[in-house]
Amino acid sequence: MLQLNIKNETSRLRAVILGTAQSNGNVPKVEDCYDPKSVEHVLAGTYPKEEDMLLEMEAVAKVLNKYDVKVFRPDIIKNYNQIFSRDIAFVIDDIFIEANILPDREREYKAIDKVISQINPDKVIVLPEECHVEGGDVMPWNDYIFIGTYSGNDYADYITARTNIDAVIAIQELFPHKIVKSFELRKSNTNAKENALHLDCCFQPIGKDKAILHKNGFLVEKEYEWLVNFFGKENIFEITKEEMYSMNSNVFSISEEVIISEKNFTRLNTWLRSNGFTVEEVPYAEIAKQEGLLRCSTLPLIRD
């Protein structure tokens, strides 16, 4: 049996599900894209090629192996995008929560069945139907659970709105001893630079007490200010709109000291090193074209 344990984003990682780019399918039609950035690349003819994405994901697998992390991979579904394992489920404490996601991604969840079957079934939870949630919006941080959401009346108009208030309430009920703090995110179906698809597109805690943050991703300035006060201004790396667009906040922590980051994130990686982090650089710019990066393609199961 797998003894799940996730208390935060940065404790030493022991087991993770890493997505796969194998048999990723053809370039999608514009009307089948789930986010504005993918649309941009489909139209420009720069949508990522499977062989490039395979190389990028293998680079991450290599780093995880180097640190003795147990890596699970999904079963391959032919011609199907299975890169972003974080979207389909997430773990808080020892509870595995299935994300209620876009209905056509149900197959993706079934493809990790060999992992789920190793978890105590009492610890696997499916939220009520009215709860929409994706793992990119959910961040356990010790006594807190940070959740990105969108509660506008026009929620249904945004294919980029992935987590609703019903889900926030349900998660609070599941973890009554934790403080659930939700953040309204800026959504756009058409402009990738004005769209925070998930909370981890504009915020991520790193180390013991630091964070990467992008102010414009938050709809409510007070909520952004809360995070600045919580971590302390001196502990925050504030990213620009361009850096958010290239997914600088979507790195992935192997431990409080070690972070996997994209090799082109020069400003961020320099800052991380100057703050004592070990930065494992990987190429991930092709995968980033689908508005997801390192955190999106990993689903942590066990941290110390």
Residue-wise pLDDT tens digits, 124-159: 999 988 898 989 999 999 999 999 998 878 766 766
Sequential DSSP letters for 32-53: G-SSHHHHHHHHHT-PPPHHHH
pLDDT computed for residue 260 by the predictor = 98
pLDDT computed for residue 99 by the predictor = 85
pLDDT computed for residue 53 by the predictor = 94
Q: Tens of pLDDT along 40-60?
A: 888 888 888 899 999 999 999
Q: Tens of pLDDT along 210-251?
A: 999 999 999 999 999 999 999 999 999 999 999 998 999 999
pLDDT computed for residue 289 by the predictor = 82
CATH number of 13-303: 3.75.10.10
CA–CA distance, 223 with 147 (Å, rounded to integer): 12
Which pTM was predicted? 0.93
pLDDT computed for residue 271 by the predictor = 98
Burial class (CB in 10 A: 0-12, 13-18, 19+), 262: buried
Stretch (H or E) spanning 168:
helix 165-174
When pLDDT is averaged across residues 13-37 and rounded to a whole number, the result is 85
Which of 28 and 89 is assigned the larger pLDDT? 89
Domain boundaries, the chain: 13-303
pLDDT computed for residue 259 by the predictor = 98
Q: Tens of pLDDT along 173-215?
A: 999 999 999 999 987 767 767 777 799 999 999 999 999 999 9
Pairing, β 144-149 against β 124-126? unpaired
pLDDT computed for residue 9 by the predictor = 98
pLDDT computed for residue 41 by the predictor = 82
Best CA proximity match to 82, nearest among 1, 146, 22: 22
CA–CA distance, 254 with 166 (Å, rounded to integer): 31
Q: Tens of pLDDT along 74-114?
A: 999 999 889 999 989 999 999 999 987 666 678 899 999 99
Sign of CA dihedral 100, 103, 105, 106: positive
